[in-house]
Amino acid sequence: MGLSLEGKTCLVTGGSRGIGKAIALKLAEFGADVAITYARSANAANEVKAEIEAKGRNAKAIQADAVDFAEAEKVINEIVSDWGKLDVLVNNAGITKDNLILRMSEDQWDDVITTNLKSIFNYSKVAARPMMKNRGGSIINISSVVGISGNAGQSNYSASKAGIIGFTKSYAKELASRNIRANVIAPGYITTDMTDALDEKVLEGIKEATPLGRAGNADEIADAVVFLSSDMSSYITGETIRVDGGMAM
């Protein structure tokens, strides 16, 4: 029997562009109803919503700053009241504000930690209740290889991404008895708007450090999300899956 997400409802934070968009579209392709959130890109988010609907699935595009706990409550309440339940939460929204520690401002530190890490607390906490009521769920948190190996110029980002791994293991232990699984995906270098900001020399270095010798694409992250969303991963929790062409091994 093929893998199917038919009947499942999913929420992807930061689904307007890049990896989050690819995740949202692939979840829909496999049969799920999908809601996305976004911060600023209303047009792009509405296009993703239309693409999901064109696949014959229900969709929502909701503007909600991932940093804001009350907005997380609003988003998840809307999904549960309209669709009856939330099966899968993908915490994907994230930003970079790179700088060497000596030059890093307090704002650069705070913005990245709150957007990337507090957001995970917000949505995971709020999702727990409806998932408990529904007797199960899957939470998938998007970290990064630099959360495992560190990276000069990204102390704020690496700290947030390592924090996600610790948070997810704790969450997995707290909620396993309720049949809620929580796992991490740690992407390597994936071509998106986020990495378009890197200069050529840095990109060449990254490719050299990747055993598979190339950048990944957002669809390859989405494939791992589909697996962790499905019942085919029913005995996996607290795990970090690297999808990085071998970079951090």
Q: How far is the CB of 194 from ligand NDP (least distance, A)?
A: 3
* Edge-first strand listing for the sheet containing 180-187: 59-63, 33-38, 9-12, 88-91, 137-142, 180-187, 240-243
What pairs with residue 33 in β-bridges? 9
Q: How far is the CB of 178 from ligand NDP (least distance, A)?
A: 26
Closer by beta carbon to ligand NDP, 9 or else 37 = 37
Exactly one of 38, 123, 157, 189 is catalytic; which is it?
Answer: 157
Binding mask 57-76 for ligand NDP (x = CB under 6 A): --------xxx---------
Asked if 157 is an active-site residue, the reply is yes
7 close to 31: Cβ distance less than 8 angstroms = yes
18 contacts ligand NDP (rule: CB under 6 A): yes
As a whole number of angstroms, the distance between CA 36 and CA 24 comes to: 7
Closer by beta carbon to ligand NDP, 132 or else 194 = 194
What pairs with residue 63 in β-bridges? 38
| Subset of 194-233 contacting ligand NDP (CB under 6 A) | 194-195
Give the binding range for ligand NDP (CB under 6 A) out of 10-18, 122-130, 167-175, 234-242.
10-18
180 contacts ligand NDP (rule: CB under 6 A): no
Other C-beta atoms lying within 10 Å of the C-beta of residue 96: 21
Closer by beta carbon to ligand NDP, 132 or else 198 = 198
Residues 6 or more apart in contact with residue 90 via CB below 8 angstroms? 10, 11, 12, 13, 20, 23, 27, 139, 140, 141, 142, 225, 229
| Subset of 99-158 contacting ligand NDP (CB under 6 A) | 115, 142, 144
Give the binding range for ligand NDP (CB under 6 A) out of 24-32, 75-83, 86-94, 167-175.
86-94
Contacts 24+ apart (CB under 8 A), 205-213: 206/247, 209/247, 210/244, 210/245, 210/246, 210/247, 211/245, 211/246, 211/247, 211/249, 212/245, 212/246, 213/245
Q: How far is the CB of 135 from ligand NDP (least distance, A)?
A: 29
The single residue among 10, 87, 94, 137 that binds ligand NDP, judged by CB under 6 A, is: 94
Q: How far is the CB of 35 from ligand NDP (least distance, A)?
A: 13
Length of the chain: 249
Helix axes 106-113, 155-175, angle to 10 degrees: 30
Residues near ligand NDP (CB under 6 A): 13-20, 37-41, 44, 65-67, 92-95, 115, 142, 144, 187, 189-190, 192-195
Residues with catalytic roles: 157
